[in-house]
Structure 1
Amino acid sequence: MNNLSEYELQLLSKLPLDIAALVKNYRTDIINAAEFWDEPPLTVNHVPEFIEIYYGDAESPHIFIVNGELQDYNVTNLPDNTKSISVLIDDQWAYVQIEGQVILNRLGGVILPDVLVSPSSLINSLVGVINHG
């Protein structure tokens, strides 16, 4: 099955069959969800230091927030048909959605920040749009 490692197969065994079957098209997202499948939700009033949001099978986050401040925002190359969203909070996968179906939701009582956008981040993201546009 797509040359899955023994470790990946072990992770998949924790998932319901209908979700595990999605590994064929969404390998990274499903393996990430499986790694944190048995973990409890983030604690009530947890204030994240790092929030990373990935669309599709991206190597690096499209949105990166540190201590409530937007550090990086790059959605210029997003295809209109992005079918998966993954959220990493403080190095833990907390949320995975594929084709509109929530696969993993460990957000629990996390307090999502009112994101502050520094002028330099905004300018850099606009410059990126102009340069890639």
Structure 2
Amino acid sequence: MSMNLYPFSKYDLRQIAKLPSDISALAEKYPCEIINVADAIDDDPFPDGYIPHIFEIYYGTSDNANIYIVDGVLQDYNVPEFDGNTPSVSILFDGNFAYIEVEGKELLNKLGGAVLPHVTINPSTLIEILTRGVSHD
């Protein structure tokens, strides 16, 4: 596999080489996602009844969480528009990768027995989310 398009470190290349070939073949197109899969592949699934304190969802190559929930309260919701399905989805529980999907294919699933929190929305957060991008000309 040629890794010319992305500057992978020697450590990254060793980690990627441990992955199944159908996953490692996606490394040039989805370098961050594949490195995250490689780093989390040996982690244990979340235990039964685990409720994450911090729940983050990233779509595509977003730098910040598109959905960010802390202790069951929605802190941010900023989902980009895509033509068709999002190219990738990454879910983190308390800073640990729980799920990664690329092009509709599940690459990592450590959800185990985790329970998604009941989500509430603070009214001021809701107003801020709803008014994003609204021009006041």
Which of 59, 62, 66 is residue 58 of structure 1 equivalent to? 62
SS at match of 1:24: coil
Q: Which whole-Å deviations, capped at 9, do the CAs of 1:72-100 have from their partners, x for residues lacking one?
A: 1111x332342100001111011000111
Q: Any residues of structure 2 matched to 1:1-133 within 5 Å, and which?
A: 1=3, 2-75=6-79, 77-81=80-84, 82-131=86-135
* Runs of 5+ unmatched residues, structure 1: none
Return 5+ residue gaps in structure 2 as ranges: none
The structure that is helix-richer by fraction is: 1
Cα drift, residue 117 of structure 1: 1.1
Cα pair 1:55 1:78 within 8 Å, conserved:
no
Q: How many residues align?
A: 130
Q: 1:50 corresponds to which letter in structure 2?
A: I
Q: TM-score, normalised on structure 1?
A: 0.92
Deviation at 1:7, TM superposition (A): 1.5
CA distance in 2, matches of 1:14, 1:115: 37
Cα distance in 2, alignment partners of residues 108 and 129 from structure 1: 38
- Give the superposed CA RMSD: 1.2
Q: Using the TM superposition, give the Cα deviation of residue 69 of structure 1 relative to its aligned residue in structure 2, in angstroms.
A: 0.7
| Paired letter, 2:17 | S
CA offset digits 1:27-61 (Å, max 9, x no partner): 11111111100111011111100011000011111
Q: Deviations over 1:96-127 (max 9, x none)?
A: 00111000000000010121111111111111
Judge which range, 59-68 or 78-87, deviates more: 78-87
Which of 121-130 and 31-40 deviates more?
121-130
1:60 maps to a residue whose letter is N
For residue 108 of structure 2, give the secondary structure of its aligned residue in structure 1: strand
